[in-house]
Amino acid sequence: MAQAREIDPRPWYLLSPALLAIALLVVVPMSFILVYSFYENIDLGLDAPAFQFGNWRELLTDGYYHDAIWKTFRLSAIVTVLAAVLGYVPAYFIANTRFRHKWLLLLLLILPFWVSFIIRTLSWIHIMGNQGAINGLLLWLGVIDEPLPMMFNEFAVIVGFIHVFLPYMILNVYVSLEGIDRNLEPAARTLGCTPWQAFLEVTLPLSLPGLAAGCLLVFVLTAGSYVTPLILGGPDDFLFGNLIYDAVLSELNWPMGATLSFALLVLLGVVVVVYSRFMRLNQLSKAFG
Site size toward other proteins, by CB under 8 A: 23
Least distance from C-beta 86 to other proteins, angstroms?
Answer: 25
Give the burial class of 160: count Cβ atoms within 10 A of its Cβ; 0-12 exposed, 13-18 middle, 19 or more buried: buried
Instruction: Determine the Cα angle at 148 with ends 146 and 151, to 5°.
Output: 130
C-alpha distances out from residue 62 to 162, 227, 230, 240, 251, Å:
31, 24, 22, 13, 17
Q: Measuring CA to CA, which residue among 104, 111, 80 is closest to residue 173? A: 80
- Binding mask 196-235 vs other proteins (x if CB under 8 A, - otherwise)? -x---xx--xx-----------------------------
Least distance from C-beta 275 to other proteins, angstroms?
Answer: 20
Q: Which one of residues 34, 35, 86, 284 is an interface residue with other proteins (CB under 8 A)?
A: 284
Least distance from C-beta 243 to other proteins, angstroms?
Answer: 42
Least distance from C-beta 92 to other proteins, angstroms?
Answer: 18
Instruction: Pick the closer one to other proteins by CB: 10 or 286.
Output: 286
Window of 4-12, 68-76, 189-197, 232-240 that interacts with other proteins by CB under 8 A:
189-197
Residue 96 in the binding site for other proteins (CB under 8 A): no
- SS3 readout for 112-124: HHHCCHHHHHHHH
Burial code of 126-136, b = ≥16 C-beta within 10 A, e = fewer? ebbbeebeebe
Residue 282 in the binding site for other proteins (CB under 8 A): no
Number of Cα atoms under 13 Å in the Cβ half of residue 275:
18
Q: Which secondary-structure segment (H or E) carries 32?
A: helix 28-36
User: Amino acid identity, residue 149?
Assistant: P
Eight-class DSSP state of 191: T
Least distance from C-beta 95 to other proteins, angstroms?
Answer: 17
- Binding mask 156-185 vs other proteins (x if CB under 8 A, - otherwise)? -------------------------x-xx-
Instruction: Pick the closer one to other proteins by CB: 197 or 276.
Output: 197
Do residues 167 and 110 make contact, with C-beta atoms less than 8 angstroms apart?
yes
Q: Which one of residues 148, 175, 193, 279 is an interface residue with other proteins (CB under 8 A)?
A: 193
Residues in the site for other proteins, rule: CB under 8 A?
Answer: 181, 183-184, 186-194, 197, 201-202, 205-206, 283-284, 286-289
